[in-house]
Amino acid sequence: MVRLTSTSRKDDIESLMYILCFLLNGTLPIIEFINLNIDNFHMSKFLNKVLQYRIEKREECHVRIKDMLPMSMRNAFQYTMQLNHEDKPDYNLIKLWMAFDDQDEQRAFESKLDTTNSKMAKNILFQDS
């Protein structure tokens, strides 16, 4: 496993999506894990458990977070999760998804709304959710 020593633009957007998910739902999968394990609190052991959980359950947590978000935010979250550490996110595409509701997304696609990353947008937009 490669350890990255710096954060990226992808990390910033991912963090924003976690915050929005928490604001909408009042919880996140990692918070649920912490709450279930707080009785066995020994700082070093507990932090190791949390880090291990984050590594082992990363994909599962992402699926749960995606399901907790409104459709427009799901698309932005899924797009963000597909980025590599060094990629520059398409901020216009993310703003487009965040600004539209479900019906707007369908109408935008049907009217062939031009986006800077339309191929990726089409793939993500119509995947099963």
Per-residue pLDDT at 37: 76
CA separation (Å) from 117 to 28, 45, 89, 129?
A: 30, 44, 10, 20
The verdict on residue 3 lying in a domain is no
Query: Burial, 97: exposed, middle or buried (Cβ in 10 Å; 0-12, 13-18, 19+)?
Result: buried
Range of the domain at 69: 9-125
pLDDT of residue 116: 46
C-beta neighbour count of 74 within 10 angstroms: 21
Amino acid at 11: D
Q: How many CA atoms lie within 13 A of 122 on its CB side?
A: 11
Q: What is the DSSP letter of 29?
A: H
Residues in the chain: 129
Number of domains in the chain: 1
Q: What is the pTM of this model?
A: 0.59
Would the CA dihedral through 26, 30, 36, 39 be positive or negative?
Answer: negative
Residue 4, in any domain of the structure: no
pLDDT of amino acid 68: 87
> What is the pLDDT at residue 74?
87
| pLDDT at residue 93, as a whole number | 87
Determine the residue type at 44. S
- pLDDT in the model for residue 69: 87
The four Cα atoms 100, 71, 12, 65 give a dihedral, to 10 degrees, of 160
Flag residues of the chain having pLDDT under 50: 1, 115-116, 129
DSSP string, 41-80: --HHHHHHHHHHHHHHTHHHHHHHHHHHS-HHHHHHHHHH
Domain annotation covers residue 1: no
> Within a domain: residue 68?
yes
